[in-house]
Homo-oligomer: A and B are copies of this chain.
Amino acid sequence: MRYVIIGGDAAGMSAASRLKRRAPDADVVVFEKTNDVSYSACSMPYNIANTEKPMDGLVVRTAEAFRDVQGIDLHTGYEVSSINPSEKMIYGKTLDGNDFESSYDRLLIATGASAIRPSIAGIDLDGVFVLKSLEDGRKLKNYLADGKVETAVIIGMGYIALEMAEALTARGIKVTMVKRREQLLPWMLPELSEVAAKELEANKVEFFPGLPLESITRGGNGLTVNAGGRSFPADMVLVAVGVKPESRLAAAAGLDLGADGAVSIDANMRTSAADVFAAGDCADITSVVSGRKIWLPLALTANRGGRVAADNMMGEPVAFRGIAGTAVFKVFNLEIAKTGLTMKEAEDAGFKPVYKAIAAKSKAHSFQGSAPLHASFIADSESGKILGAQMIGSEGVARRINAAAVALQAGMTVDEFYECDLAYAPPFSPVWDPLLTAASMLMKKSGT
């Protein structure tokens, strides 16, 4: 049996490793277009903040280890350019310019996502960066290496933009953030979004929402970002306006696309073509909350998707039920976490969402280090079903969100969550965990 995988990052290498472990005699072949496999992309902002650590320290496992220790037939610098599902063939070109082709018995498309690069003048200027691949990270960090970058403009205010605002500030660079839309984190409840805005202000990051990007120009002293009729000078520019699924190969091969243009897959990771599977950031996935297909590129989803795809490629029907949609990130001293649907997503999915956001403390009131924390639940006002939760605070947020994520997986109502026996001790929580208090207040508000 010949298993071929396109893409050597989280989903691809998770699948390859599992296939080779469970079917040692099979051919497991991976084609990765870059020279990097299996690195922690999520750690790039922290690495960039740190002048001591080399970027290659983010490599979790080297290509050699995959080849020599695991026996995976891994080709780096091999870019697949087309798939022929009826002939079960793929075709491509190496970085050296040589053509290659390969047959497969089962194919996994794990081509990931790519950074969105707006079609504006100046997007390709020297000093303008995106941050998605390890190579993007290397280029950006090299650009900072001589210490001459004093000011940066970040376009976008999503989590990568915010993590990079922290990273650049840590390197003494004055950061200005500019974005098209009005709200800092549009998915976030307004009470919580305000807390994030104050944290940026406290860390001298200026931000200008509501300014659509027009162009980037280079003058005598550096770059200028032109947005919404205003001009922002900068020594470097990071464009962090989001990512899109890398589904062009699949589309060209005639495969169905789904949510947000991602490769459409079923619970067994099968695409619309026989013996072709997809997993990770290039594919869509089911929301366990709404039951609808969504596109939400997350590391755990990619790792899990790769594993589940491997099982199904081997003929073992394992279902990936879906995801709650849990994400957490850090910006300066804040932990920001969400799981499930936003208010807008809940409305779009046909629910009648209500929410309650409360201010609480991370530990017992009088305990040293007890920090303000905002917790919230979003629920359907008719069924009482929990639809989402969001939290923000300087301490005790990131791991707390998991309780809500499990509740979403279990399909709990707010009332049922309120009955949960969450941990209490003064160094760690008030007697009533903030999520229990949020649940209680939401029950009162919605009269359930």
Contact = CB atoms under 8 A, between A and B. Distances in A.
A264 interface: no
A401 B406 CA distance: 11
A338 to B, nearest CB: 9
Interface stretch (A249-257, A342-350, A409-417): A409-417
Given A303-B432, A402-B403, A432-B300, A328 B424 contact: yes
Contacts of A403: 402-403, 405-406
A302 to B, nearest CB: 9
Nearest to A319: B419
A410 B419 CA distance: 10
Contacts of A57: 366
Contacts of A43: 364, 366-367, 426
Contacts of A321: 419
Interface stretch (A127-135, A212-220, A392-400): A392-400
Interface in A329-348: 329-330, 335, 337, 339
A312 interface: no
Nearest to A417: B406
Contacts of A299: 424, 431
A421 interface: yes
Interface string A39-79: 01011001000000000011010000000000000000000
A327 interface: yes
B40 A425 contact: no
A432 to B, nearest CB: 7
Contacts of A339: 421, 423
A197 to B, nearest CB: 20
A298 interface: yes
Contact of A409 (B328, B337, B399, B420): B420
Contact of A427 (B303, B326, B398): B398
Contacts of A410: 406-407, 410, 412, 416
Nearest to A416: B409
Contacts of A424: 42, 298-300, 326, 328
A232 interface: no
Nearest to A408: B421
Contact-size category for A: 35 or more
A301 interface: yes
Of A321, A328, A416, most buried by chain B (CB within 10 Å of CB) is A328
Nearest to A288: B421
A329 B426 CA distance: 8
B428 A399 contact: yes
Contacts of A326: 421-424
A156 interface: no
B421 A324 contact: yes
B399 A421 contact: no
Nearest to A436: B300
A433 interface: yes
A85 interface: no
A12 interface: no
A353 interface: no
Q: Which 6 A-B pairs have CB atoms at the shortest separation, nearest pair first?
A: A410-B410, A398-B428, A402-B403, A399-B399, A328-B423, A324-B421
Interface of A: 10, 40, 42-43, 46, 57-58, 60, 288, 298-301, 303, 321, 323-330, 335, 337, 339, 364-368, 396, 398-403, 405-410, 412, 416-417, 419-429, 431-433, 435
12 contacts: A42-B424, A43-B367, A288-B421, A300-B432, A321-B419, A324-B420, A326-B422, A328-B428, A396-B399, A402-B422, A403-B403, A407-B410
